[in-house]
Structure 1
Amino acid sequence: MRLRNKPWADDFMKENNHIVVGNAFDYKGKWQETFDQEQPLHLEIGSGKGQFIAGIGKQHPEYNFIGVERVKSVIVGALKKVLASEAENVRLVNEDADDLREMFGENEVDHIYLNFSDPWPKTRHEKRRLTYRTFLEQYEAILKDKGELTFKTDNRGLFEYSLASFSQYGMIIEEVSLDLHQLEDDLNVMTEYEEKFSAKGQPIYRCRTRFNK
């Protein structure tokens, strides 16, 4: 699906530069400076329209959250949701970070969220999956020693692939759920995709894992 261009997006983000952080690569190792107070730093990679990052920011004011989304016409939707939530502990980044180590310092992040990432189902596209080992190397570098990674998807194939990838990398898997919404987890914040798929009866898969370091 082609995304519609939003000519007002640049001005809207500039008007709200207290939330959408420009020159993001300049904050490597010092992201806490962008927040009102220093708190554990949580990162969502691929924030989409922002329902998750806005919701979890409102629900957990004791953490600081950063949502990275490369598509400008999408991140402005996330910005609207963050503004509506009045969460003061959420920042957004409109960048296509090929290597997160260029944007975040070593051991700077406490928690990473991968929510409904593109499954890239064709074998020749394996290296594009966000749970492929080269991405895991990036996450390991920027996460603190006891930092966690939470992965959610509706795609059973990607979930099985990711569990195998985590295991082969030597990560410690703390939790595996094959039907997240049966857990009645009050701490779960649904994304737009999650609401859509779960309404159709599609199970949502989640795992929590951390690096063995």
Structure 2
Amino acid sequence: MRLRNKPWAKDLIEANPEKILVSPETIAGHWQSRFAKEQPIYIEVGSGKGQFITQMAQKYPDRNFIAVEIQESAIAVILQKQVELQLPNLQLLLGTGASLTTFFADNEVAGVYLNFSDPWPKTRHEKRRLTFKTFLAEYQQIMQADGYLRFKTDNQGLFEYSLCSLNAYGMLLDDVSLDLHKSDLAIENVQTEYEEKFSKRGDRIYRLEAHFKSDKA
């Protein structure tokens, strides 16, 4: 869902270059230099307004997190939070998930989070789904050998499609939950804005965790 234009967004982004990158091609392979400590890097592709990624950074100070968001207005909302929180293990990236191999070096990322991605339900839009094979190839290239992909959605059709897509790509499923909030994983689960909204109205939340078969050293 596209946010309304925020006229203050560009000025805020320009005023905080140490917290957000708008030309991330220049930092591939050197993301650790953007953080206070060198720690495993986890990215969220499509961070929206940032509730998940900021809470994850607070909950896991021994990990570094990067919010990847294509909407300027949305990432500006995350930046507002980061200006206030000053989390040393959170960075922001204004860019698309289709360019991850440009933004990150091979094996630079420990894990990828996909939360409530646009389902693109029409067949002709299949290539835009973040679990389509071309996106999976991007994740595999930047991910470390022991890295994982975690995916959450309220959309049953997208979830079923994603299971098939990951299986066809050769990924191995580590966990599948058809009702996350009624599972043991709910205790440690960090929710997104959409997740809170959907779960409050009684919608089921689907979740999976998977990894790539790999011969990486």
- Is the structural similarity TM-score above 0.5? yes
Classify the secondary structure of the residue corresponding to 2:48: coil
Q: How many residues align?
A: 213
Q: Do the aligned partners of residues 13 and 199 (structure 1) sit closer, same or farther apart at CA in structure 2, a change above 3 Å counting?
A: same
Query: By how many angstroms is 1:2 displaced?
Result: 6.0
Q: Do the aligned partners of residues 56 and 180 (structure 1) sit closer, same or farther apart at CA in structure 2, a change above 3 Å counting?
A: same
Give distance in 2, aligned partners of 1:200 and 1:83.
Answer: 32
**Which residue pairs with 1:63 in the alignment?**
63
Query: By how many angstroms is 1:97 displaced?
Result: 4.8
Residue 97 of structure 1 contacts residue 103 of structure 1 at CA under 8 Å; is this kept in 2?
no
Letter in 2 for 1:208: E
Q: Deviations over 1:52-88 (max 9, x none)?
A: 0111000000000001111111111111233344422
Query: By how many angstroms is 1:23 displaced?
Result: 2.4
Are 2:177 and 1:177 aligned? yes
Letter in 1 for 2:177: S
Runs of 4+ in 1 over 6 A off after TM superposition: none
**Which residue pairs with 1:201 in the alignment?**
202
Q: Deviations over 1:136-187 (max 9, x none)?
A: 1111100000100000000000000000111111101000001111125332
**Which residue pairs with 1:192 in the alignment?**
193
Q: Which shows bigger deviation, 96-105 or 145-154? A: 96-105
1:1-213 to 2 correspondences below 5 Å: 3-184=3-184, 185-213=186-214
Give distance in 2, aligned partners of 1:90 and 1:126.
Answer: 31
Give distance in 2, aligned partners of 1:132 and 1:48.
Answer: 20
Q: Which consecutive unaligned segments of at least 5 residues does structure 2 have? A: none
Classify the secondary structure of the residue corresponding to 2:138: helix
Residue 68 of structure 1 contacts residue 92 of structure 1 at CA under 8 Å; is this kept in 2?
yes
Q: Which shows bigger deviation, 202-211 or 18-27? A: 18-27
Q: Deviations over 1:94-135 (max 9, x none)?
A: 123532111110011000000000000011111111101111
Q: Which shows bigger deviation, 102-111 or 5-14? A: 5-14
Q: Do the aligned partners of residues 168 and 46 (structure 1) sit closer, same or farther apart at CA in structure 2, a change above 3 Å counting?
A: same
Query: By how many angstroms is 1:22 displaced?
Result: 3.7
Aligned-residue identity in percent: 50
Give distance in 1, aligned partners of 2:28 and 2:102.
Answer: 7
Q: Deviations over 1:10-35 (max 9, x none)?
A: 11122222211242110111111110
Letter in 2 for 1:151: F
Alpha-carbon RMSD: 1.4
Give distance in 2, aligned partners of 1:88 and 1:3.
Answer: 27
Give distance in 2, aligned partners of 1:2 and 1:141.
Answer: 29
Give distance in 1, aligned partners of 2:4 and 2:143.
Answer: 35
TM-score by length of 1: 0.95
Q: Do the aligned partners of residues 162 and 92 (structure 1) sit closer, same or farther apart at CA in structure 2, a change above 3 Å counting?
A: same
